[in-house]
């Protein structure tokens, strides 16, 4: 057993990283059966580790009368309990290996729509594995690029913080591999559009990545003002969402392929869009995704359910069956790109939770988003400040009149949250960002 907070360089995962860097990534090389076999090997190893060294799982498994031999393949993870946000924020230490020294780990803070802070600890092997599978994103985007892709410039709209710290740690851990990374310019998501465009004009990146909200805002601005900028050949987004209307602008008005990246602080790399088949490929040899209904049963392709992730490599904060709050649907059948990784369709309502309101039925953010989306709005943000008070901030699409939108938004909200609710509609120039730079579509402010 390695990577358990003990000194020494990464071992197993380093080989894995190399296998991704040279030649075809193995999701293109190995069959689905071979990939499954590797995944299940890791499932058995992490469950043995969790049972033997991590108090929360040792207790949960004993309570259920389970031993490691009861979890043989990924589907058996269903026998373990679901880790809810509250478990992690109230008892985070119980998810760390006994006697582990957190100083040895990279600590990443996370906060969802409720802004309850939690810290996830990563060991070096997990970071290397996370990077190794992220090289698949690189192969996927370079398929969409023209000409030589051995060296090119890229830019990222991001934030000083988590992602940068992961990069710095990675650079220290495996400097040789780091040198292969594209030259990258970082621009803060808090920078205004004029400044971003000026920096991109100078740098001329062929690939632009970043927070969905920042990519969306930039291209909305370009479309609205006609400002001139050398366009990247491919765009990718993650961290927060790119609204449907914004994605349409990038893809249709600017003709640039858009690839989504699905990650979270809880699991690091989860999946990516290849842009050739529908949905996101899941890195399931490193992060197993299970999609379950309200009773915890796996849903069938076409049905949607709640996303649970299991990180198979991290021996810092060990998370198996952790609920992210996202809603997704499994996709059946092979992808035209030939990758052997399974696919899911990710529905809007990231970082989501059930919305508490006065009324008989619970309301998921997804229902709220679907309703607002049907109005054709560019982007919105709902601030929920008490069980019956909602503030809706709206960025209209080009040509939409506020006078018409205002009553339509009010009517849609009243229909969803009940006629007794207090609903305020605002049209600000920009939307609020959380301390970690994200534009959340739903913010719950506890009174
Ligand atoms: Zn594909």
Tokens for 62, please give them. Answer: 């004993």
Would you call 293 helix, strand, or coil by DSSP?
Answer: coil
Beta-ladder partners of 393: 381, 426
pLDDT higher than 50, residue 430: yes
Most confident of 148-157, 172-181, 187-196, 226-235: 226-235
Tell me the CA–centroid distance for residue 396 and ligand 1, in Å: 33
Burial profile 225-241: b = 16 or more Cβ within 10 angstroms, e = fewer: eeeebebbbbbbbbbbb
CA–CA gap between residue 82 and residue 241 (Å, rounded): 25
Residue 134 CA, ligand 1 centroid: distance in Å: 14
Q: How far is the CA of 280 from the centre of ligand 1 (A)?
A: 8
Specify the higher pLDDT residue, 316 or 90.
316
User: Distance from the CA of 373 to the center of ligand 1, in angstroms?
Assistant: 27
CA of 140 to the centre of ligand 1 (A): 8
Q: How far is CA 125 from the centre of its chain?
A: 20
User: 437 CA to middle of ligand 1, Å?
Assistant: 30
Helix (H, G, I), strand (E, B) or coil at 178: helix
Report CA(350)–ligand 1 centroid distance (Å). Answer: 22
In sequence order, which residues have a C-beta less than 8 Å from that of residue 389 and are 6 or more positions away? 421, 422, 424
Ligand 1: centre distance to CA 371 (Å) = 30
374 confidence band (pLDDT: 50, 70, 90): confident
Span of 75-79, 224-228, 266-270 with lowest mean pLDDT: 266-270
The Å distance, Cα 272 to ligand 1 centre, comes to: 9
- Span from the CA of 231 to the centroid of ligand 1 (angstroms): 24
* Interval between CA 277 and ligand 1 midpoint (Å): 5
Ligand 1 center to residue 337 CA distance, Å?
A: 4
What is the C-alpha radius of gyration for the chain, rounded to an integer number of angstroms?
22
Range from 181-190, 244-253, 320-329, 355-364 carrying the lowest mean pLDDT: 355-364
Q: Between 358 and 395, where is the model more confident?
A: 395
Calpha distance 72→135 (Å, rounded): 28
Q: Are strands 153-158 and 389-395 parallel, antiparallel or unpaired?
A: unpaired
Q: What is the whole-number distance in angstroms between the Cα of residue 276 and the centre of ligand 1?
A: 5
Ligand 1 mean position, distance from CA 339 (Å): 6
> What local confidence, expressed as pLDDT, does residue 365 receive?
67
Determine the angle formed by the axes of helices 32-53 and 55-63, rounding to 10 degrees. 100
Location of structure tokens 């989306």: 373
Determine contact, residues 60/319, Cβ cutoff 8 Å.
no
Across the strands, what pairs with 258?
A: 235
> How far, in Å, is the centroid of ligand 1 from the Cα of 338?
6
For residue 385, with 0-12 CB atoms within 10 Å meaning exposed, 13-18 middle and 19 or more buried, which class applies?
middle
SS3 157: strand
d(CA 334, ligand 1 centre) in Å: 8
As given in the structure block, the two tokens for residue 2 are: 């390695």
CA of residue 345 to ligand 1 center, whole Å: 12
Confidence of residue 112 (pLDDT cuts 50, 70, 90): low
**What separation in Å is there between the alpha carbon of 143 and the centre of ligand 1?**
11
Strand residue runs (E) in 254-365: 258-264, 268-273, 280-282, 287-292, 305-311, 322-331, 343-346, 354-355, 363-364
Closest CA to 235 of 253, 269, 260: 260
Q: How far is CA 251 from the centre of its chain?
A: 21
What's the gap in Å between 439 CA and the centre of ligand 1? Answer: 28
User: Is residue 126 pLDDT above 50, yes or no?
Assistant: yes
CA dihedral defined by 136, 138, 143, 144, rounded to 10 degrees?
A: 130
Ligand 1 centre from 128 Cα, in Å?
Answer: 23
Domain covering 145-256 in this structure, CATH number? 3.40.50.980
Q: What is the pLDDT of residues 257-307, one digit of tens each?
A: 999 999 888 888 999 999 999 999 999 999 999 999 988 899 999 898 889
Instruction: State in Å: Cα 209 to ligand 1 middle.
Output: 19
Q: How does residue 65 score in pLDDT terms, banded at 50, 70 and 90?
A: very high
Q: pLDDT class for 1, splitting at 50, 70, 90? A: very low
Cα(283) to centroid of ligand 1, in Å? 12
User: Exposed (0-12), middle (13-18) or buried (19+): which is 333, by Cβ within 10 Å?
Assistant: exposed
Provide the whole-model pTM. 0.81
| Better-scored residue on pLDDT, 416 or 236 | 236
Of 99, 47, 107, the closest CA to residue 78 belongs to 47
Q: Is 438 helix (H, G, I), strand (E, B) or coil?
A: coil
Dihedral sign for Cα atoms in the order 397, 431, 307, 135: positive
Q: Do domains 12-127+265-274+277-346 and 145-256 have the same CATH topology?
A: yes
Q: CB atoms < 10 A from the CB of 176, how many? A: 8
For ligand 1, the distance from its centroid to the CA atom of residue 275, given in whole angstroms, is 7
Domain 354-444 has CATH 3.30.300: yes
pLDDT at position 113: 45
User: Cα of 25 to ligand 1 centre, how many Å?
Assistant: 13
- Homologous superfamily in CATH for domain 12-127+265-274+277-346: ANL, N-terminal domain (3.40.50.12780)
What is the Å distance from ligand 1's center to 9 Cα? Answer: 33
pLDDT of residue 68: 97
> Is 50 exceeded by the pLDDT of residue 2?
no
Distance 384 CA to ligand 1 centre (A): 38
| Alpha-carbon dihedral angle through residues 303, 309, 310, 312, given to the nearest 10 degrees | 100
The kind and range of the H/E element at 252 are none
Where exactly are the structural domains of the chain?
12-127+265-274+277-346, 145-256, 354-444
- DSSP E strand stretches across 332-441: 343-346, 354-355, 363-364, 379-386, 389-395, 422-426
């Amino acid at each position: 057993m390695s990577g358990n907070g003990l000194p020494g360089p990464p071992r197993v995962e380093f080989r894995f990283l190399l296998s991704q860097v040279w030649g075809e990534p193995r999701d293109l090389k190995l069959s689905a059966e071979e990939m499954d076999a590797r995944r299940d090997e890791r499932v058995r190893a992490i469950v043995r580790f969790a049972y033997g060294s991590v108090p929360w799982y040792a207790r949960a498994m004993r309570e259920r009368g389970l031993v490691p031999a009861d979890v043989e393949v990924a589907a058996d993870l269903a026998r373990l309990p679901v880790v809810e946000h509250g478990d992690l924020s109230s008892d985070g230490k119980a998810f760390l290996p006994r006697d582990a020294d957190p100083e040895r780990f990279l600590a990443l803070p996370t906060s969802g729509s409720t802004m309850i802070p939690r810290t996830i600890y990563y060991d070096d092997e997990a970071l290397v594995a996370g990077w190794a599978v992220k090289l698949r994103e690189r192969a996927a985007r370079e398929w969409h690029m023209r000409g030589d892709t051995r060296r090119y410039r890229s830019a990222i709209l991001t934030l000083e913080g988590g992602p940068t710290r992961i990069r710095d740690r990675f650079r220290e851990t495996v400097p040789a591999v780091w040198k292969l990374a594209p030259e990258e310019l970082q621009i803060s998501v808090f920078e205004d559009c004029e400044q971003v465009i000026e920096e991109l004009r100078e740098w001329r990146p062929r690939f632009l990545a970043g927070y969905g909200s920042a990519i969306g805002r930039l291209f909305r601005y370009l479309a609205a003002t006609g400002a001139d900028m050398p366009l990247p050949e491919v765009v990718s987004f993650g961290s927060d969402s790119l609204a449907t209307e914004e994605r349409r602008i990038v893809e249709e008005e600017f003709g640039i392929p858009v690839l989504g990246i699905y990650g979270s602080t809880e699991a690091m790399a989860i999946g990516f869009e290849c842009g050739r088949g529908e949905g996101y490929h899941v890195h399931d040899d490193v992060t197993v995704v299970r999609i379950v209904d309200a009773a915890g049963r796996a849903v069938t392709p076409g049905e949607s359910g709640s996303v649970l992730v299991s990180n198979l490599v991290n021996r810092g904060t060990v998370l198996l069956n952790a609920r992210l709050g996202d809603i997704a649907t499994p996709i059946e059948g092979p992808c035209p790109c030939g990758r052997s990784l399974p696919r899911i369709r990710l529905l809007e309502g990231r970082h989501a939770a059930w919305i508490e309101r006065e009324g008989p039925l619970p309301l998921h953010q997804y229902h709220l988003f679907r309703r607002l989306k049907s109005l054709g709005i560019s982007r919105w943000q709902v601030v929920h400040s008490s069980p019956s008070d909602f503030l809706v901030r709206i960025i209209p699409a080009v040509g939409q009149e506020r006078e018409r939108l205002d009553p339509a938004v009010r009517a849609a909200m009243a229909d969803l949250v009940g006629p007794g609710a207090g609903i305020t509609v605002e049209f600000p120039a920009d939307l609020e960002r959380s301390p970690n730079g994200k534009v959340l579509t739903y913010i719950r402010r506890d009174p």
